[in-house]
Chain A
Amino acid sequence: KQEVTQIPAALSVPEGENLVLNCSFTDSAIYNLQWFRQDPGKGLTSLLLIQSSQREQTSGRLNASLDKSSGRSTLYIAASQPGDSATYLCAVSGSNYKLTFGKGTLLTVNP
């Protein structure tokens, strides 16, 4: 059974700092990995999707990497802003359509 772990569970940083969020998964037979953002009381917004054949994806200040063989992914956020404060969720998809989620990392960026 696939399990996804996210470390740290919570992170507080000053504005402008670069930061890294970590995600690990137990079964490397994945189809893709996605990073989502969830604002309090709201749904999820997809940030980046990395196919299993890819090593990384970039969108603006966000960069996500994937090391499938070791079961790890990182989300790098450059020059963090208060508006980046949210919960960041990692999810992996197997050969079927099921997404397995981690519990998330609660990020607070202080002005």
Chain B
Amino acid sequence: ETGVTQTPRHLVMGMTNKKSLKCEQHLGHNAMYWYKQSAKKPLELMFVYNFKEQTENNSVPSRFSPECPNSSHLFLHLHTLQPEDSALYLCASSYGQGGKETQYFGPGTRLLVL
């Protein structure tokens, strides 16, 4: 596969469940990002990793826990979520985390919390 892939594409979970979202990039990038896209709101940056190190946590609740084992893989672990966490979660990657680089996005995971 090429580009940025995300699994699963769709996820339904209860508030007591624990699940994980996976992102993989095949572009040789070193920076990876998690974004949240809610209905009628702009995309919100959640986390940034550069060379596996977290460089940004945009005041995200602790029920979202990111993990970046290497520059190609990024996870978002979910536990005790709330219905308002239902959204499209997008992963992106880029060369370097500097603002001059284009970010390449995955197709997203559509999450529904019941």
Top 10 A-B pairs, shortest CB-CB distance: A93-B99, A31-B99, A43-B105, A97-B97, A44-B105, A101-B43, A101-B42, A43-B107, A46-B102, A43-B106
Q: Is the CB of A42 within 8 A of B99?
A: no
A42 touches B41 (CB 8 A): no
A75 neighbours in B (Cβ, 8 Å): none
**Distance to closest chain B CB from A80 (angstroms):** 23
18 cross-chain CB contacts under 8 A? A4-B42, A31-B98, A31-B99, A42-B107, A43-B4, A43-B90, A43-B106, A43-B107, A44-B105, A89-B43, A93-B99, A96-B99, A97-B48, A97-B97, A99-B99, A102-B42, A103-B40, A103-B41
Total A-B residue pairs with C-beta atoms closer than 8 Å?
60
> Is A49 a contact partner of B41 (Cβ separation < 8 A)?
no
What is the bound-complex CA distance between A46 and B104, given in angstroms? Answer: 7
Taking the closest CB of chain B, its distance from the CB of A16, in whole angstroms, is 30
Chain B contacts with A in 57-114, Cβ cutoff 8 A? 88, 90, 92, 94, 97-100, 102-108, 110
